[in-house]
Chains A and B, each alone.
Chain A
């Protein structure tokens, strides 16, 4: 067991755990942040996506000992029920969620993608950017729509 100090959603946390425990398990079991979900556990589906130093990664393949001193943002840090991020609002408005299991990962990945571009992306661009996030329910159409809607709103609010 080791003490691991890192920053989650802007707060410093200190957890005592085995250094080979996954970041996903640390977030869910030790930090009480159950937004991120485990599905495949091997990097294929993206339901566990979090930002590590602003970059989307699969927290199921990051080990606790690797995040000592680093900055992590989970879906809980993207926005709250009271103050939703435009991506979250667009997912609600477009009905881009069914069972919701993939949603936290998709929100994090979409947020990072939209922060990195300054235009409304085409469908092929979004498919490429979000190729690491699987959804078994929606058939993706509404997810793609939601990302475009969020991008359009983000652009118009920047122009205001």
Chain B
């Protein structure tokens, strides 16, 4: 099929969009910012009969706070996340992840919904969403369902979403003033690079100490999907985060990740870097915490 044969539907509302997904018999694919979709179209991988252009489905573009929950619409661009005062205050780890995506143009075009749906093991917003304990809302004509972000990804490019479903919301709990987070990425260069390894960490600190009451650690690009490093997480609460403890956590991370060798890096390099990124992230977080306490 030639690119010139692909048609486009531009629904004006979510309902119209869901109706198309439910009833249209030709092959379809949603189109948000196009930064993954158009590249794959050009490569010949994705040539649907119709692009379903989401641009005019304005109800999917929002950043709000409802009671104790932050809610983000899937059409929100990475730039909108970076510039949101609400997210800067409550989701530092996600803001930092979006700052590391591509460069200005890609941040202006790419959306969080597209990043999630592409389900790349190296997708930068995904570890941040794991670390925030986010849930994803899927909507179809027959209703809505919520799914934990960790249960959403099945493998590279594979998700739990059905063909008639659309990602309609990303949500996570508002964090307390003792909750801090950080995103760390290693790519071949600073801008415009796919992660060789990335890591997201959130910690709940105990006032006036170097101890934490809990935390989440997620790594990307070290397995078929983003993973949570639960063994490392279990160590976070064993005692104060001293140099020795951080080094031990790094060592456990080295064992806990399961990377492969590919064109971007070897498995052993990825292991080394996963543990280095985690140690560096923990040090930086503790430094920030100490400054905040002063």
Cβ of B104 < 8 Å from any Cβ of A? yes
Question: What CA separation (Å) do A55 and B10 show in the bound complex?
Answer: 21
Cβ of B109 < 8 Å from any Cβ of A? yes
* Contact residues in B for A65 (Cβ distance below 8 Å): 8, 10, 51, 53
Cβ of A21 < 8 Å from any Cβ of B? yes
Interface membership of chain B positions 184-199, coded 1 if the CB is closer than 8 angstroms to chain A and 0 otherwise: 0000001110000000
Cβ of B38 < 8 Å from any Cβ of A? yes
Q: Choose one: A62, A109, A133; the contact of B34 (CB below 8 Å).
A: A62
Question: What CA separation (Å) do A62 and B105 show in the bound complex?
Answer: 11
Cβ of A28 < 8 Å from any Cβ of B? no
Q: A20-B3, A20-B41 are in contact. Are A44 and B192 (CB under 8 A)?
A: yes
Q: Choose one: B5, B34, B108, B190; the contact of A63 (CB below 8 Å).
A: B34
* Contact residues in B for A58 (Cβ distance below 8 Å): 105-106, 109
Question: What CA separation (Å) do A22 and B7 show in the bound complex?
Answer: 13
Cβ of B55 < 8 Å from any Cβ of A? yes
Interface centre among B41, B42, B102, B105 (most CB of A within 10 A): B105
Cβ of A129 < 8 Å from any Cβ of B? yes
Cβ of B160 < 8 Å from any Cβ of A? no
> Contact: A43 with B3, CB < 8 Å?
no
> Contact: B104 with A18, CB < 8 Å?
no
Cβ of B103 < 8 Å from any Cβ of A? yes
Min CB–CB distance A127 → chain B (angstroms): 8
Q: A56-B105, A57-B105, A65-B53 are in contact. Are A20 and B4 (CB under 8 A)?
A: yes
> Contact: A19 with B109, CB < 8 Å?
no
Number of interface residues of B (CB under 8 A): 28
Cβ of B31 < 8 Å from any Cβ of A? yes
> Contact: A109 with B104, CB < 8 Å?
yes
Interface centre among B53, B108, B190 (most CB of A within 10 A): B108
Cβ of A98 < 8 Å from any Cβ of B? no
> Contact: B51 with A20, CB < 8 Å?
yes
Closest to B47 in A: A20
Closest to A51 in B: B108
> Contact: A131 with B103, CB < 8 Å?
yes
Question: What CA separation (Å) do A44 and B42 show in the bound complex?
Answer: 14
* Contact residues in B for A131 (Cβ distance below 8 Å): 103-104, 190-192
Question: What CA separation (Å) do A129 and B109 show in the bound complex?
Answer: 15
* Contact residues in A for B34 (Cβ distance below 8 Å): 61-63, 66
* Contact residues in A for B192 (Cβ distance below 8 Å): 44, 131-132
Q: Which residues of A contact B (CB under 8 A)?
A: 2, 18-22, 41-44, 46, 49, 55-58, 60-63, 65-66, 68, 109, 113, 127-133
A–B Cβ pairs within 8 angstroms, 30 of them: A2-B7, A2-B8, A18-B3, A18-B6, A20-B4, A20-B6, A20-B7, A20-B41, A20-B51, A41-B42, A43-B102, A43-B105, A57-B105, A58-B105, A58-B109, A60-B38, A63-B34, A63-B38, A66-B34, A66-B53, A68-B10, A127-B190, A128-B191, A129-B104, A130-B103, A131-B192, A132-B102, A132-B105, A132-B191, A133-B103
Q: Which residues of B contact A (CB under 8 A)?
A: 3-8, 10, 31, 34-35, 38-39, 41-42, 51, 53, 55, 79, 102-106, 108-109, 190-192
Excluding A58-B109, A130-B104, 12 further A-B contacts by CB distance (< 8 Å) are A18-B4, A20-B8, A20-B51, A44-B192, A46-B103, A46-B105, A60-B38, A61-B35, A61-B39, A63-B31, A63-B51, A132-B104
